[in-house]
């Protein structure tokens, strides 16, 4: 049954697909930023979030936000179309340049495959169905995915990079000739480089003391090692500082490391800290370490994980 023009109407059906709108996660309303009546972040035309109607240096686009005066359904096309304006305004904010304004389009073309080689297309009040629409949808989808597969620039080193290496050019000169440097997540070594390096190592010998269940032969977010009836997950994480606040960076680093345990379904028990601090006087070094470790302790303590030791160095 459903309500139509104030009346309750019963409609017979064979199968029912219950479709609902997107719901805003609770943390948006707890952020201190202005939200609309449905709990989504309010932004102006520059995609800046608002706080007491005042634009902030926080930006949002897509399903988590609503542009003031231009509410739209939560559909991916609106997020995609806002992407370029979001990028331009982030760059403009950092460079102190003029912002661009983004007004979301009023209508969208929806293409829904029916699973039988046909497709329904709708835009506004117009709706069509047919096999040719499925071919159109398939072409659009494949073209979109190609941009993130075959359409990406090659990361393979070209001849000019090899020439730079052969001529013993310095590291910066070599990097300038690289088409696109893959730094991996958190500025790690790129995946392809790491895989090639590890594949040249001999196989890990077996041990009577433990059994490696997840290791280099099938790398994951953490290694799984079995000792008798106990399974331990080993994981290590490290990345360069990206913020001047050592306390906040310690929190971020610890939470980033703890996320590997979450990904492996493991309960964190103990942690070792590896800290690299910049060269400086004893007071500066002590202060950096104290703040960084205090931040890490806060995150570890909240996760019930004990900090039991570690190692430090300058660099």
| Model pLDDT, residue 177 | 60
pLDDT one-digit tens code per residue, 113-150: 998 999 999 988 899 999 999 999 999 999 989 988 87
The tens digit of pLDDT for each residue in 23-58 reads 999 999 999 999 999 999 999 999 999 999 999 999
Residue 243 backbone dihedrals phi, psi, to 5 degrees: -145, 145
The residue with tokens 């070792």 is 272
How confident is residue 162, by pLDDT bands cut at 50, 70 and 90? Answer: low
Question: Percent of the chain beyond pLDDT 70?
Answer: 88
Q: Give tens-digit pLDDT for 52-85.
A: 999 999 999 999 999 999 999 888 889 989 999 9
Give the pLDDT band (50/70/90) at residue 198: confident
**pLDDT band for position 158 (cuts 50, 70, 90):** low
What's the pLDDT score for residue 174? 61
pLDDT value at residue 66: 95
The pLDDT value given to residue 63 = 92
pLDDT at 101: 96
**Does 294 or 168 have the greater pLDDT score?**
294
User: 97 CB contacts (<8 Å, ≥6 apart)?
Assistant: 91
Question: pLDDT higher for 157 or 237?
Answer: 237
CB proximity list for 202: less than 8 A, separation 6 or greater: none
By mean pLDDT, which of 18-22, 70-74, 102-106, 273-277 is the weakest? 18-22
Predicted TM-score (pTM) of the model is 0.53
């Amino acid at each position: 049954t459903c309500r139509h023009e104030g009346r309750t109407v019963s409609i017979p059906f064979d199968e029912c697909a219950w479709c609902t709108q997107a719901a805003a996660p609770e943390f948006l309303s707890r952020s201190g930023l202005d939200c609309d009546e449905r709990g989504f972040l309010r932004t102006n035309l520059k995609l800046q979030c608002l706080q007491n109607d005042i634009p902030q240096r926080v930006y949002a686009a897509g399903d988590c936000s609503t542009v003031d005066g231009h509410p739209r359904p939560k559909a991916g096309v609106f997020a995609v179309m806002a992407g370029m304006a979001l990028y331009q305004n982030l760059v403009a904010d950092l460079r102190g340049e003029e912002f661009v304004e983004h007004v979301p389009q009023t209508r969208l073309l929806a293409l829904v495959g029916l699973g039988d080689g046909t497709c329904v297309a709708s835009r506004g009040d117009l709706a069509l169905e047919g096999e040719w629409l499925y071919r159109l949808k398939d072409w659009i989808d494949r073209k979109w995915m190609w941009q993130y597969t075959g359409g990406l620039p090659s990361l393979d080193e070209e001849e000019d990079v090899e020439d730079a290496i052969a001529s013993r050019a310095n590291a910066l000169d070599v990097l300038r000739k690289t088409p696109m440097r893959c730094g991996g997540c958190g500025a790690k070594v790129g995946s392809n480089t790491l895989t090639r390096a590890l594949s040249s190592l001999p196989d890990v010998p077996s041990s009577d003391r433990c059994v490696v269940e997840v290791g280099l032969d099938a790398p994951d977010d953490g290694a799984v090692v079995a000792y008798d009836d106990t399974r331990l997950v080993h994981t290590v994480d490290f990345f360069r500082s990206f913020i001047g606040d050592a306390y906040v960076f310690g929190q971020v680093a610890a939470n980033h490391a703890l996320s590997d345990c979450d990904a492996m379904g493991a309960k964190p028990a103990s942690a070792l800290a590896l800290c690299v601090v910049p060269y400086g006087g004893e007071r500066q070094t002590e202060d950096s370490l104290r703040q960084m470790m205090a931040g890490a302790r806060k995150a570890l303590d909240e996760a019930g994980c004990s900090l039991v030791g570690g190692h430090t160095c300058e660099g």
